[in-house]
Structure 1
C-alpha cells in the first residue's frame, strides 16, 4: 500500500512538473488551469497525509508559506561580474576593435534584452534546484532559495540529460501588469505605492514569508550557464540546451554574425521596447564562442567578452505644479519638483529631485514652468530643462526657502557646499526619527524588529527622543501602538536587549556623528579604546588617524561639546551598550607578510579597503597610512592618483594590482 501511494505521489509530481514546463517554457499548455489546480490539490492532500515522502522540490511548494527569519550570506563559487556599459555605437565599435586585436579570427555575437530586475544565481545538483543566491556585491549574496521556488518560471526539477552540478544565472523581474496589480492592492489598503518594477522585484525577494512572495507574481528569465565543465562550444548552444532542460530563455535573443546585425537588433528594440510587457534598459552583447570568451578573459570588474548597451534616456514635457522640501536624517534639505503626472519610459512620473538651490538657479525655474523630464538610468526622474516659450511672463522665479519646513529653524548653508542644512539636529522631527532609524539599521545596532513606522509612532507618542530611550521602553508602552500585538512587542524588547552585544565600532557608527560613516567608525574604534578616549581626543590627534581629515575631526569634537549628546552617551553606557573595545578576535592565518608594510590606494574591486587591511594583518603584515621609504608594497585599484605617483618617484616600493596582492599572500610571487 505504501509503495503504491509513493508511486502515485511521484507520478503526480512528474506530471505537474511537465505541465509547468509546457506552460512556462514552451507556452503550450495541454490542460486547463482548472485541471492543473485539481491535480495540485490532490498532490497536496497526499503529501499532507504522507509526510514521509517529502520532496523539497515538489510542485506544491510553489505556493510558498515557508518563513525565513534571516537570509544567510553565501560566497559565490563563481564571481558575478558587472558589465561595462556603452551608450553609443562608437563605444561598441571600440569594443569590437579590442576584441579583434586580441583574437585574429571571425567573431559572432549573441544579443539579448537587458531585463530590468534583480540578478540571481541558482545552483542545480542532480537535476534539482538546490540553492538560490542574490548577486550581492558579486563575491557573496543572500540565500533566498525558499522565495525563488515560488517563481513559476524557474524550474525546480530539470528534464533530460543535464550536467551533475552547475549554476544558472538570470534576472528576476516584474511585468508591468503585475506591478500595476500590486499598486492597486496597496492603494486599496491605504499604503504608499511602489515607485518602479525593478526595485519592487528586488525588495520582494527579501520578504520573510515566501507565501507573500508568491502573491507578488514575479517572473524570471535565465541567460547564463556556469560550471567548470561546459557541455557546448558556444553560448548560443548553451541557451538552446538550457531551454530543452526546462529553463525559460528569452525568445528575443538573437545570434548575430557581425556588428551590423547587432546594431540592427539594438535599433529595433530601442523603438519597440515600450511594447514589451516588461521593462528593459538596454541590450546585453556577448561573444558567442566560449573558447574566445576564455581568450579574452576579465578585467578587475568585468568580462572583456561582454558589453551592455544602455538606451538613451527618454525625455517628456510636463508642468511643474510646485516645489516642496524634504528634510533628511543629517538635516540636509532636498527640494522636490511636484509635477503634473506624465508617462515616461513606461511609468507615471509625479515627482523629481531638484537636488539643491544651485540646480534650481541653473535651470532658472519659475512657478508653473513647463519642464523637460528624463529618467537617469531609466529609473530616477530628473528635470533637464525648461520650455521658456510656454512660460507665463508674470510667473515669479522660485525662491529657495530660508527656514526648515518641519521645525521652522533658520537654514544654514556651509561655504563651498551646495546643500542647505537645518541645524536643529536634536529636535527637528525628521532628523530625530532618521537618527533613530539609522541607530537600529542592519549595519549599526541591527534591531530588526524596530521598523521605520514603529519608530515614527514611538516618537509621535513622545516615548523616544534619542537612541538611549529605546532601552527604557516597556511592553505596556508598546501594546497600545497601531498594529502592535503581544508577540511583536516582545520581539522589539528582545531585539533591543540583544543590541547590547553589538561591538563598539557598530555602536559608534550607529550614534550618528555627522560624517562618521561605517568605514570611519571602524578606523576610530581601532585607534581609540573607548568612547571616553575618543571624546578626550584633540582635533590634531584625530587627524593622525588614516582617512580622518579636518572636517571629520571638527564634527567629532563638536558632537562631544553638546550636553544632550553627552547625556545620551552616559545613559547608553549605563544600559550596557558596548562603548568600548572588546577583546581582539583577530586570527592570524599565516606569517607570509611578516615584516612587510602595505598601503592601498584607488578604488578596490575585489574587496573593500577594510577587508584588504584585515587580510594584511591576518597574514602578519602591517598597514601604514602614507607613502614613504618605509613602505614595501603599494596595492593600486582603479583611478589611483598621487600616492601611486609618489611611490613611482621613490622607486623602491613594489607596486601591485589586487590580483598581484592575492598572489603574494598565496606565495606565488
Structure 2
C-alpha cells in the first residue's frame, strides 16, 4: 500500500471539495462526509509525519500561536487608489490618461470595491508561500498562518499558473457571518463587534490561528502582479485567477467606453445593498497591462486606476452637546455628541465638527436635529441642520476661548482654521499625545507599550517627555495598575530595542509639525543627521526636494525651542539613532549623475523596477513623465506612442536597454 499516494489523493480531493463549497458555492458532498475524510487524513498524517505538508487541508484548522508578526517588505509595492465622487471626476481622469497615451481606444475593467482588509499573497510553484498585510504599502505583517485558515484561499493551485506571483485581495466578513458572530456575543453578555470591516481586519492579527479559523472570513481576489505572467489585461488576469482556484467576484465587467462604466456604476449604486458583503464603490482600471505600464504611478497611486465612491448614507439625529479635544500639536477639535443612531452598519454617537468656522457656517446649536453622513463611509460628519425642527430658544454656539485641559488661552494663527493651545510643555493631552505618536509602529514601534500605558506612565509621574521612556525601570513600572513582571520587562526591553530604529523613523517620531513619514525620509536622506538638519537655514531647507516654506519654517521653529533641543540631546545620550546609516551598494557608481531618465515599454533583461533601481544605483534620477528636463528615454517593446511623439518633439535621446547597459558598463 502506497501510503504517500493515499495521503496525497485525500489532500487533492479535500482541496477540490473546499473549492466547490467556498469558491463555487456548489458542494458535492455533505459536511459530515467532508469531516470524515478530513479526520482520515489527519490520522494518516499523524502516523506518517515524514509526509507532512504545510499546505495540507488539515492545516486550515489553525492552532499556530504567533506572538509577534514579522514585518516583511513587499516584492511589489501596494499602492492606494485615488478616489472620485462624481462622474465628472472620472471624465477628468480619462482625459489625463489619454494625454499620456495619445487618445488610443481604451477598455476598462469595472470591479466592485469591497470594504475589507487588504492582503498580498505570494504563490510559488502553485503553493501558498506567504501572506502579508498591506501595512504602509512598502511593508506589512506576515499573517500566513492566519490566512491559511480561510477556506476560500487555495493552498494549492490548479491548471497552468506562473512559477511565482503575488495576488492581491480583500479579506471580508460577509454580513450573515458577522451577524451570527454578534448574536453569539450578545447571548453570552459580551459587547458586539462594530462593523464587518474592522472585525475582518482585526482577525488577521489574532495571535491564535485556531481562533481565526472559527471566523467565517472570505478572500476576494482582484489583481495579479509579477514577472513573466503571460497575461495581457486585467480582465484576463481575473479569469486566469478564477481558473487557478481563487474566489474572484463575478460582478467584474469589461467596459468599452465611459458610458458603459457609468451604466455599471448606476446599476451597482442601486443594487449593492443586495450583496453579501460591504462595498463602498467601484474600481475602474485601464484594462491593458501595456497601457498600465505606460501610465505608471504617482507617489501614492496608479495613474491607470481610480475608485468611484458611492454617495455616503445619511441620517438625522439630535445634537446633545459639543465637547473639545486637544491633539498632540495643541490643535483643538470640536466634537458633536449625538443621540446614538444607526449609520452604514454602525452605531454613531459622535462626529467631528472640524473647527470654529464650520460651526459658524452650519450655525449649529445644542438641541438641533442634524444630518450626519460618513465621509467615504468611514468618518462620521455633520453636513447640515434641519432648521424646521430647531427650538426657538436654542442659542448660537460660542466657541471656547481657553483650553479645556489646562485652561491656557487659545490662539488662532492668521490663515489657519484651527485654534491651538500654546501650552506646549504643560498641557497633559499634548504631552501624552506626543509620546503616543513617538511609540507608534511607523515611528519607534515600541513593543509592549500602548497608548493607554503612556497615559498611565504620565499620570503617575514617570514620564514627562518621550526621552524619559529610556530611563524607565521594571521596579518603577510594576506598581502600576495592570502591570505584571513579564509585561513590565517587555516594556523596558521594547524601549531598549527601539534604539535600533533607523534615523528617518526617529525623525518622524519626534513629532515636528508637518513632517510626516515621506518628508522625514527626504530630510534624512538629504542631511544625513539630526545636527545637520538643526543647523540648516530656512533657505537651505526650502531648496530640499519637495520641502516647501511651511515645512521648512516648522523645522526651524522646532529647533529654536530649547526644550526640544534638550530632549534631542538626551535621546542622543541614550544611543537613539540620530544619523542615517546608509547601506553601501558595492556596484553603485556616479556614471549617470545629473541625468534624468524616463522608462517606457517592456524589457527583456530587466523588469521596469529593476531598471529604475539600476538608474538610481548609478547616480541617475528616474522621471515619471517626459519633459524638457529628461535626458534619456529608455525604450522597450510597445513603447507608448504619446511618449515616443513627445520625446521626438523635445529631441530627447531614445536608447534601448542594451544602450543603457553599455552606459553603466563603460
TM-score over 0.5 (shorter chain): yes
2:17 to 16, 19, 27: 19
- Say which SS state the counterpart of residue 374 (structure 2) adopts: strand
What is residue 58 of structure 1 aligned with on the other side? 56
Matches within 5 A, 1:203-352: 203-226=202-225, 239-240=238-239, 242-254=241-253, 262-285=261-284, 294=290, 298-301=294-297, 308-352=307-351
Please tell me whether the aligned partners of residues 85 and 308 of structure 1 are also in contact (alpha carbons under 8 angstroms): yes
Distance of 1:426 and 1:615 partners within structure 2: 47
Distance of 1:541 and 1:258 partners within structure 2: 49
What is residue 640 of structure 1 aligned with on the other side? none
Distance of 1:245 and 1:597 partners within structure 2: 44
Distance of 1:23 and 1:224 partners within structure 2: 23
Question: Offset of 1:479 from its aligned partner?
Answer: 3.4
Write out per-residue CA displacement over residues 498-520 of structure 1, whole angstroms, 9 at most, x where no aligned residue. Answer: 22334445434333344444455
Write out per-residue CA displacement over residues 545-593 of structure 1, whole angstroms, 9 at most, x where no aligned residue. Answer: 66666665665565556565455445434433344x3775454644354
What is residue 596 of structure 1 aligned with on the other side? 594
- Does the C-alpha gap of structure 1 residues 396 and 109 become closer, same or farther in structure 2, counting only changes over 3 Å? same
Matches within 5 A, 1:377-456: 377-456=376-455
How many residues get paired? 624
- Say which SS state the counterpart of residue 266 (structure 1) adopts: helix
Write out per-residue CA displacement over residues 66-111 of structure 1, whole angstroms, 9 at most, x where no aligned residue. Answer: 326343433435x65655655445566777898898556xx77654
- Say which SS state the counterpart of residue 221 (structure 2) adopts: strand
What is residue 10 of structure 1 aligned with on the other side? 8
Is 1:359 aligned with 2:364? no
Distance of 1:538 and 1:257 partners within structure 2: 54
Please tell me whether the aligned partners of residues 588 and 618 of structure 1 are also in contact (alpha carbons under 8 angstroms): no
What is residue 628 of structure 1 aligned with on the other side? none
User: Which piece of structure 1 moves more, 369-378 or 505-514?
Assistant: 505-514
- Does the C-alpha gap of structure 1 residues 228 and 27 become closer, same or farther in structure 2, counting only changes over 3 Å? same
Write out per-residue CA displacement over residues 593-622 of structure 1, whole angstroms, 9 at most, x where no aligned residue. Answer: 45527899xxxxxxxxxxx99998853469
Question: Offset of 1:342 from its aligned partner?
Answer: 2.7
What is residue 458 of structure 2 aligned with on the other side? 459
Distance of 1:267 and 1:174 partners within structure 2: 25
Distance of 2:535 and 2:259 partners within structure 1: 67
Please tell me whether the aligned partners of residues 168 and 226 of structure 1 are also in contact (alpha carbons under 8 angstroms): yes
- Does the C-alpha gap of structure 1 residues 271 and 348 become closer, same or farther in structure 2, counting only changes over 3 Å? farther
Please tell me whether the aligned partners of residues 542 and 552 of structure 2 are also in contact (alpha carbons under 8 angstroms): yes
Question: Offset of 1:334 from its aligned partner?
Answer: 0.9
What is residue 471 of structure 1 aligned with on the other side? 470
Matches within 5 A, 1:645-660: none
What is residue 605 of structure 2 aligned with on the other side? none
Distance of 1:365 and 1:204 partners within structure 2: 39
Please tell me whether the aligned partners of residues 168 and 221 of structure 2 are also in contact (alpha carbons under 8 angstroms): yes
- Does the C-alpha gap of structure 1 residues 168 and 622 become closer, same or farther in structure 2, counting only changes over 3 Å? closer
Please tell me whether the aligned partners of residues 322 and 367 of structure 1 are also in contact (alpha carbons under 8 angstroms): yes
When the two structures are superposed, what TM-score results if normalisation uses the length of structure 2?
A: 0.78
- Say which SS state the counterpart of residue 342 (structure 2) adopts: strand
- Please report the RMSD computed on the Cα atoms of aligned residues, expressed in angstroms: 4.6
Write out per-residue CA displacement over residues 624-652 of structure 1, whole angstroms, 9 at most, x where no aligned residue. Answer: xxxxxxx97699xxxxxxxxxxxxxxxxx
Distance of 2:554 and 2:94 partners within structure 1: 50
When the two structures are superposed, what TM-score results if normalisation uses the length of structure 1?
A: 0.78
Please tell me whether the aligned partners of residues 619 and 665 of structure 1 are also in contact (alpha carbons under 8 angstroms): no
- Does the C-alpha gap of structure 1 residues 421 and 598 become closer, same or farther in structure 2, counting only changes over 3 Å? farther
Question: Offset of 1:156 from its aligned partner?
Answer: 0.9
- Does the C-alpha gap of structure 1 residues 54 and 316 become closer, same or farther in structure 2, counting only changes over 3 Å? same
Matches within 5 A, 1:578-657: 578-579=577-578, 581=579, 585-587=583-585, 589-593=587-591, 596=594, 618-620=617-619
Distance of 1:583 and 1:27 partners within structure 2: 53
Question: Offset of 1:125 from its aligned partner?
Answer: 3.1
User: Which piece of structure 1 moves more, 242-251 or 138-147?
Assistant: 138-147
Distance of 1:336 and 1:505 partners within structure 2: 34
Distance of 1:237 and 1:617 partners within structure 2: 33
Question: Offset of 1:18 from its aligned partner?
Answer: 2.4
Structure 1 unaligned regions, length at least 5: 601-611, 624-630, 636-653
What is residue 649 of structure 1 aligned with on the other side? none
Distance of 2:234 and 2:261 partners within structure 1: 16
Distance of 2:274 and 2:470 partners within structure 1: 54
- Does the C-alpha gap of structure 1 residues 464 and 369 become closer, same or farther in structure 2, counting only changes over 3 Å? same
Write out per-residue CA displacement over residues 401-435 of structure 1, whole angstroms, 9 at most, x where no aligned residue. Answer: 22222233222222221111122222322222221
Question: Offset of 1:177 from its aligned partner?
Answer: 4.2
